[in-house]
Structure 1
């Protein structure tokens, strides 16, 4: 029995939940980043005054409009998720990373993992349904 046939035996509400869940998970991560863009971006930028990566990202994206604040916050969240690469390249000072408030760093990591989990679930679900369809 392939996945598509097995999936079609599920109750309709479970099928809908299975297909909508990745959007809910991913959008909750995006919403967390959006909220951090307005509540915590200034704190994040003040935490990294001498880090080259942060300075370049701020020059590239700016920090005034909705889109620019969102993209800047999400790109800076990559620092919290993968700091070693930035530190080893010299783009980020480890001392400044230690000064980032723990709750902000935790939110950044959780937001990125929610986005990743939603995307992975969606790709897996669509892939399973598409590949196993008759």
Structure 2
């Protein structure tokens, strides 16, 4: 197994999670500046969105990024938030389809990249001499 970790295949294997996750991060950053205002206007009465906006704000890169990524998770799994009363189902339905689609893709790319990275590090630790 140590032959593998000394090969170019191992380099590609360890680089892959970054190649997968980085586009997701870029998508969230772009949405933070292009679409965040639209997203916030779509959810004027949803408690979760109001709390997140109060917590993170929406002025700097970091706060817009965190706010957009937390709302992307809501776009992916809205049912739990709707059942708890944190989101209004009518507002979730009003989220523009192209924005929701981008949010879901970005979230899954980030999730896949992180998962791959964690598995790769675990494999590296398990196979270390």
Q: Give 1:91 deviation, angstroms.
A: 0.3
- Find the residue that maps to 1:64 and give its secondary structure: coil
Number of equivalences: 129
Q: Give 1:6 deviation, angstroms.
A: 5.5
Q: Give 1:133 deviation, angstroms.
A: 2.0
TM-score (norm 2): 0.94
Verify: 1:39 aligned to 2:28, yes or no: no
Match of 2:22 in 1: 27
Q: Aligned ranges for residues 1-134 of structure 1 at < 5 Å? A: 4-5=1-2, 7-8=4-5, 11-12=7-8, 14-134=9-129
Q: Which runs of 4+ in 1 moved over 3 A?
A: none
Using the alignment, how far apart are the partners of 1:46 and 1:66 within structure 2? 19
Using the alignment, how far apart are the partners of 1:96 and 1:6 within structure 2? 54
- Give ranges in structure 1 of 5+ residues lacking alignment: none
Using the alignment, how far apart are the partners of 1:43 and 1:6 within structure 2? 51
Using the alignment, how far apart are the partners of 2:77 and 2:5 within structure 1? 40
- Give ranges in structure 2 of 5+ residues lacking alignment: none
